[in-house]
Amino acid sequence: MNVLKGILSESKEYYLDAKQKIEKKLSSLPQGSVKERQIAGKKYYYLQSRAGKKIVHKYLGKDKPERLIKQLGVRKALKAELKKVNEALRMLNRTEGRKRG
């Protein structure tokens, strides 16, 4: 039984460390999405995000912001990974809470 507890403890430490690393990476990436608007036949790009309950648009320019779009894609992938890590932690917490005997 002690071996199983050790494995569960190591797994929990691994997932907590992974969660911390993902959250640190997320904090350095921009939030929101890039929106393209066509005004008078010309394309303009905006970063759309939330500030509380309001949606805010920040002008980015006439050129497509490829770097920003890539960063937002990385952010989306990290959010999906964080969701899986949180689910694993919930399962580990439920397993720890059970008493045998």
Per-residue pLDDT tens digits for 66-78: 999 999 999 999 9
Q: How far is CA 32 from the centre of its chain?
A: 12
Confidence of residue 1 (pLDDT cuts 50, 70, 90): low
The packing angle between helices 66-97 and 2-28, to 10°, is 160
Q: Residue 15: count other Cβ atoms within 10 Å of its Cβ.
A: 19
Q: What 3-state class would DSSP assign to 8?
A: helix
For residue 24, the one-letter residue type is: K
* pTM > 0.85: yes or no: no
Quick: pLDDT tens for 41-69.
999 999 999 999 999 999 999 999 999 99
pLDDT value of position 29: 94
* pLDDT computed for residue 101 by the predictor: 45
